[in-house]
Amino acid sequence: MIINTHFGEIPQSYLFSEVAERVRRFEQQQPDARVLRLGIGDVTRPLAPAVIGALHAAVDEQATTEGFQGYGPEAGYEFLREAIAAGEYGSIGVDVAPDEIFIGDGSKSDSANIQELFSETARVAVTDPVYPVYVDSNAMAGRLGSFDGERWTGLTYLPCDDANGYRPPLPAEPVELIYLCSPGNPTGTTMSRADLEEWVQYARRTGAVILFDVAYRAFITGDDVPRSIYEIEGADEVAIELGSFSKTAGFTGLRCSWTVVPKNLTRDGASLNAMWLRRQSTKFNGTPYIVQRAAEAVYSADGREQVQADVDYYLQNARLIRATLEQAGVSAVGGEHSPYVWFRCPSGMDSWAFFDVLLEQAQIVGTPGVGFGPTGAGHFRLSAFNTAEATREAAERLAKLLPTLV
């Protein structure tokens, strides 16, 4: 046997692929239907003018002998690493050095690849429900045992439901790797400072490494919710942080992200910072120069203002979705510091049944909660990333449909 048999153990239908296939079949059968997509988290707002200006300038540089850039540094250009250190961390009073920041082509790639630093026997814990990439990438590496049709036998699930406010409990068994996300995908909930302090203390006590995803940090409003795990003392000895420009600045097509691997983070006598640099240098040729210049522009005065306007636009959509659900008697979370709204399906419906009802009776696409893990069964996620016009129309359709189901 020469192939990686672990690929065959993974459920064949990736969540978003199954959603796309069901929508495709519906649109074939109902070609005149106006389908409103509140499912996958792709953005709809155009890139900010400051970003477009930086892209054009960088392209023009590539047309000159003096300005041309070929292979760049695998860890990222210094100008962007410095901009992130100041704009993402210095701005909130956190000291992260530029050489602890690594530029990637999306947090999906980074969160899938970071597991390569760890032993194939490392025990993994994930929130449940969870972003599927955390699970599938570890399954491909052979860490999770076998899939029994509902869950992986070698994976530690941290159930998040109504009882705990959709915040993960500490593991009941020893683990080495812990995936956390705040604001959470898919639930939209956030972790408080006290929550993160408890997790950092746990990791320091047990030697576990926290992989902390902050892809949606730009949606946090106010100062009471931490924007980085490094706001917690001692986190630089136990945590890797993964950030992204995809939702912050609409880079879902451009592809740019960052990963912070602190120099204080060591395990078994090895520097994880040095290991990640070695991994990236071997397997990655770096994010394109023009994209990194575009990302740098996010931190300009104009860029900050323009990007924040887009974030506010999506948050307004999220608030409308949540208010519509709650007015119909459906309790929901998220939508406050997050572009996602999460709720139990009305009348005890299962996730895929509600997906079909929503699509067939209201022509709205959402994401079935069961696709995010066993505790997501009977739940549903709606995204605020469509246009304001489409979101208002979807809210009107929901307001008509939900009372017939509750």
Q: How far apart are CA 80 and CA 367, in angstroms?
A: 34
Residue 222 has pLDDT above 80, yes or no: yes
HSE-CB for 334 with a 13 A CA cutoff: 28
- Name the token pair of 144: 């999770």
Residue 280 has pLDDT above 80, yes or no: yes
N residues, the chain: 406
Q: Are residues 245 and 294 in the same domain?
A: yes
Residue 161's pLDDT is what? 94
Give the type of residue at 215. Answer: A
Q: In total, how many domains does the chain have? A: 2
- Mean pLDDT in residue range 2-30: 88
Question: Which of 253, 268, 301 delimits the end of a domain?
Answer: 301
Residue 182 makes CB contacts below 8 A (sequence gap 6+) with 189, 190, 191, 196, 212, 213, 214, 225, 226
Residue 13 pLDDT? 67
Q: Is 105 left (phi over 0), alpha (psi -120 to 50) or beta?
A: alpha
| pLDDT interval class at 242 (50, 70, 90) | very high
Percent of the chain with pLDDT over 90: 94
Same domain, 142 and 270: yes
| Residues 221 and 257 reside in one and the same domain | yes
What mean pLDDT is predicted for residues 272-298?
A: 97
Amino acid 312: pLDDT: 98
Same domain, 235 and 319: no
Residue range 316-339: average pLDDT? 97
The structure tokens listed for 57 are 């300038």
Judge if 121 and 174 occupy the same domain.
yes
Question: Does residue 112 sit in the same domain as residue 149?
Answer: yes
The answer to whether residues 24 and 93 belong to one domain is: no
Show which of 246, 268, 301 is a domain's final residue. 301
CATH code, domain with 200: 3.40.640.10
Clarify whether residues 325 and 261 are in a common domain: no
* pLDDT one-digit tens code per residue, 66-76: 999 999 999 99
User: Going along 23-160, which residue ranges are E strands?
Assistant: 36-37, 101-104, 124-128, 155-159
Residue of 18, 41, 16 whose CA lies nearest to 187 = 41
Given this model, what pLDDT does residue 275 score?
A: 98
Question: Quick one: 351 and 386 in the same domain?
Answer: yes
> Tens digit of pLDDT for each residue in 131-150?
999 999 999 999 999 999 89
**Is a pLDDT exceeding 90 seen at residue 18?**
no
Q: What is the pLDDT of residues 345-388, one digit of tens each?
A: 999 999 999 999 999 999 999 999 999 999 999 999 999 999 99
Q: How far apart are CA 190 and CA 176, in angstroms?
A: 23
Residues 202 and 63 in one domain: yes
Q: How far is CA 386 from CA 90, 186, 368, in A?
A: 32, 16, 18
Give the pLDDT mean for 209-219. 97
Residues 159, 10, single domain; the answer is no
Range(s) of the domain holding residue 232: 51-301
Cα–Cα distance measured from residue 363 to residue 354, given in angstroms and rounded to the nearest whole number = 12
End position of a domain, from candidates 286, 301, 316: 301
Q: What number is the average pLDDT over the span 313-337?
A: 97
Let me know if 181 is exposed, middle or buried by CB neighbors in 10 A (0-12, 13-18, 19+).
Answer: buried
pLDDT score of 97: 98
Q: At what angle do helices 388-405 and 351-362 cross, to 10 degrees?
A: 110
């608030």: which residue's tokens? Answer: 319
Is the pLDDT assigned to residue 124 strictly greater than 70?
yes
258 touches 102 (CB < 8 A): yes
